Chains A and B, each alone.
Chain A
Amino acid sequence: DGGITQSPKYLFRKEGQNVTLSCEQNLNHDAMYWYRQDPGQGLRLIYYSQIVNDFQKGDIAEGYSVSREKKESFPLTVTSAQKNPTAFYLCASSLGQGSTGELFFGEGSRLTVL
């Protein structure tokens, strides 16, 4: 079945370590997004990409990095520069550029810093 796969579902990190969250989609969507969700704060956009080899910062990009080398893949690295990385991370994709279509979400990755 077509969809978005995020891994790992749960991840623990020691302070000072970088971690990479995987996001793969087989929907042939051009646009992909990373969101962070904290309790009571809804979803905040970290990075988005509308085409391969191009991506833009969202509202809270500091301490994060991404790459878009393949259409299907949009990994997110949480760096040691991110001061409060414990959160639920959601990857999403949409068919076209811009925000006129629906978003398809993965099941999320929960990162905990020990």
Chain B
Amino acid sequence: SQQGEEDPQALSIQEGENATMNCSYKTSINNLQWYRQNSGRGLVHLILIRSNEREKHSGRLRVTLDTSKKSSSLLITASRAADTASYFCATDGNQFYFGTGTSLTVIP
């Protein structure tokens, strides 16, 4: 399976701290995307990073990609209680392949 795997499975931090979650995948990619899912809701696209990019920023989000290690990381800086959600990476191919997600809890 090309499915990615996020690490850690669950993360709990205090408001204001940074949250880092990682994604590993198995095959070569054209791009990698990160999505967020609030409990019981649909997924929302956060950011896309292409295989020729190493780092990308969007607001409080910073994504890195290391194609040699087949891994990506998502950093959320200055976390807020509203950031509490599950975060998924998705890789491309003939179809989108999603990881199993990291459940982030930000404690006020």
Contacts and interface: CB of A to CB of B under 8 A. Distances in A.
Contacts of B40: 88, 108, 110
Q: Which interface class (under 10, 10 to 19, 20 to 34, 35 or more) fits B?
A: 20 to 34
B100 interface: yes
A74 interface: no
A54 interface: no
Contacts, number: 57
Contact of B96 (A6, A41, A99, A107): A99
Contact of A108 (B41, B100, B101): B41
Given A42-B100, A99-B96, A90 B43 contact: yes
Interface residues of A, number: 26
Given A33-B96, A102-B48, A108 B42 contact: yes
Interface of A: 4, 6, 33, 35, 40-43, 45, 48, 58-59, 88, 90, 92, 98-100, 102-108, 110
